[in-house]
Amino acid sequence: MINVNLPSNSYEIAIASASLDQLGEQMSGLQLGKKVLLVSNPMIFKHYGEKAIASLKNAGFEVASYNLPPGERYKTFNSIQKLYDVALENRLERSSTMVALGGGVIGDMTGFAAATWLRGINVVQVPTTLLAMVDSAIGGKTGVNHPHGKNLIGAFHQPRRVLIDPEVLKTLPTREFRAGMAEVIKYGIIWDAELFTQLEASKHLDQLRYVKADLITNILTHSCQAKADVVAKDEKESGLRAILNYGHTIGHAVESLTGYRLLKHGEAVGIGMVAAGQIAVELGLWQKEDTERQNALIQKTGLPTKLPEGVDIEAIIAALQLDKKVKSGQVRFVLPTQIGAVTVTDQVPTDTIRQVLRGLH
Ligand SMILES: NC(=O)c1ccc[n+]([C@@H]2O[C@H](COP(=O)([O-])OP(=O)(O)OC[C@H]3O[C@@H](n4cnc5c(N)ncnc54)[C@H](O)[C@@H]3O)[C@@H](O)[C@H]2O)c1
Ligand SMILES: [Zn+2]
């Protein structure tokens, strides 16, 4: 059990193989009302929906379920409206609970619906992608996209419990798993050197979920602990939480320039980490050998380490500037100083960025 320590709404992250069967039991201890709305998508529901519902019913909950269509494309206010309709039909009350069974898309939407229905009801996160397990299900950021920008609408709403069953990763496509591994590697660099060395020592990083239950559980535990530590120190993102954006400055620019279609988020973050690592070396902040270790790990996971063809370097620089204007400040980089520690700086010369990006072409 990992505790996310917050002033008024602490909660636990439970990580254990085959724990989906204990969902109802775990929720029984939280003093929740009887009514539960399970939110998923048809594919995930087909694999795990019945199991989750059976466990909830066994524990005495009254369960309704609803499947939203799959994909980031449906992470819209329209889907939230659907959830409100279902909440109304099923007469969800202040004490009721929404359970998100899915990846980050389902988790963000269910969290947002729960944050706003009746000014806030309970939400329990049951993440089914690696990214959702180590990142989006923890920390309380919820929301949907606006036609003109990602995650523009949202709220902070912490879950009452996060239940992680590594077994569900067995059905996750390899590309999704690898993309999640980018965030895992991120935690190794920004926070947890032990996690980093453990990843270095593991072969077949993208196959872990099939072969070694102990190892994947351990890696999940370290990653979730890293996120929990950072969130506990900075719940509403006023300072420290910025370090979670390691690899995301250039990552986001590349994602948006390729229309959010070519690359998975984690793939863009992988490229962004390679770039940030090299920038740190150029600025004399980080050892060259450590960047090489980082890059070897990204490569071993099967993630890209070069910019996709056709992405123009000046376009990336322009996208960074645009982002800076939006945030009314400087372009902010999270840069490693050693494995397990980073610093945040807005003093990176544009020429250094340009030079490093040239090396990634
Ligand atoms: N709230 C936060 O702090 C936070 C942080 C990072 C990302 N996010 C958000 O998370 C979203 C991305 O999440 P994601 O990467 O989990 O993608 P996703 O939710 O779209 O899931 C990826 C795909 O995997 C499928 N899938 C999920 N679990 C499966 C399983 N166990 N077996 C087989 N298939 C499965 C889904 O149906 C989907 O097609 C983005 O919208 C992003 O903005 C939020
Ligand atoms: Zn990310």
pTM for this prediction: 0.97
The single residue of 72, 167, 237, 332 carrying the catalytic annotation is 237
Q: 76 CA distance to ligand 1 centroid (A)?
A: 14
> Could you say which of 130, 146, 171 is where a domain stops?
171
Ligand showing the shortest atom-to-Cα distance for residue 164? 1
Residues 166, 179 within the same domain: no
Residues 123, 221 within the same domain: no
- The string of pLDDT tens digits covering residues 299-315 is 999 999 999 999 999 99
Annotated active-site residue 119? The verdict is yes
Give the pLDDT of residue 328: 66
Give the pLDDT of residue 250: 97
Residues 147, 178 within the same domain: no
Residues 91, 128 within the same domain: yes
- Residue 62 pLDDT more than 80? yes
Q: 71 CA distance to ligand 1 centroid (A)?
A: 8
> Could you say which of 171, 190, 211 is where a domain stops?
171
Residues 165, 178 within the same domain: no
The residue with greater pLDDT, 239 or 163, is 163
- Residue 237 pLDDT more than 90? no
Residues 161, 219 within the same domain: no
Annotated active-site residue 265? The verdict is yes
| Atom in ligand 1 nearest the alpha carbon of residue 180 | 15
Residue percentage of the chain with pLDDT more than 70: 99
Q: CB atoms < 10 A from the CB of 349, how many?
A: 11
Annotated active-site residue 93? The verdict is no
| Atom in ligand 1 nearest the alpha carbon of residue 265 | 15
Annotated active-site residue 183? The verdict is yes
Tell me the residue range of the domain where 330 lies: 174-358
Where residue 152 sits, what CATH number does that domain have?
3.40.50.1970
Annotated active-site residue 261? The verdict is no
Give the pLDDT of residue 325: 67
Q: 329 CA distance to ligand 1 centroid (A)?
A: 30
- Name the residue of 176, 241, 264 to mutate for ligand 1: max ligand atoms within 8 A of Cβ: 176
> Could you say which of 118, 152, 171 is where a domain stops?
171
Residues 162, 207 within the same domain: no
Residues 207, 91 within the same domain: no
Q: How far apart (Å, rounded) are the C-alpha atoms in residues 328 and 183?
A: 27
Residues 194, 232 within the same domain: yes
Ligand 1: residues with CB < 6 A are 41, 43-44, 47, 70, 72, 75, 102-106, 108, 128-129, 131-132, 135-136, 139, 141, 151, 168, 171-172, 176
| Atom in ligand 1 nearest the alpha carbon of residue 139 | 3
Annotated active-site residue 141? The verdict is yes
Exposed e or buried b for every residue in 312-330, given b needs 16+ CB within 10 A? ebeebbebbeebeeeeeee
Q: 310 CA distance to ligand 2 centroid (A)?
A: 23
Token output for 169: 């990763």
- Chain mean pLDDT for the chain: 96
Q: 10 CA distance to ligand 1 centroid (A)?
A: 24
Annotated active-site residue 245? The verdict is yes
Residues 241, 305 within the same domain: yes
Token output for 10: 């602490």
Orientation angle between helical segments 174-190 and 213-233, nearest 10 degrees: 50
| Atom in ligand 1 nearest the alpha carbon of residue 142 | 1
The single residue of 160, 178, 222, 248 carrying the catalytic annotation is 248
Residues 198, 254 within the same domain: yes
- The string of pLDDT tens digits covering residues 183-215 is 999 999 999 999 999 999 998 888 888 877 899
The single residue of 75, 82, 265, 293 carrying the catalytic annotation is 265
* CA nearest ligand 1 atom 44, residue: 136
Annotated active-site residue 167? The verdict is no
Where residue 249 sits, what CATH number does that domain have?
1.20.1090.10
Annotated active-site residue 248? The verdict is yes
- The string of pLDDT tens digits covering residues 72-120 is 999 999 999 999 999 999 999 999 999 999 999 999 999 999 999 999 9
Count of domains for the chain? 2
The single residue of 183, 235, 267, 282 carrying the catalytic annotation is 183
| Atom in ligand 1 nearest the alpha carbon of residue 108 | 1
Is residue 127 within 8 A of residue 167, CB to CB? The reply is no
Residues 202, 334 within the same domain: yes
Is residue 206 within 8 A of residue 296, CB to CB? The reply is no
Annotated active-site residue 146? The verdict is no
Contacts of 93 (CB under 8 A, 6+ apart): 33, 35, 118, 121
The CA distances from residue 64 to 46, 79, 193, 335, 339, in Å, are 15, 17, 43, 46, 46
The single residue of 245, 255, 264, 267 carrying the catalytic annotation is 245
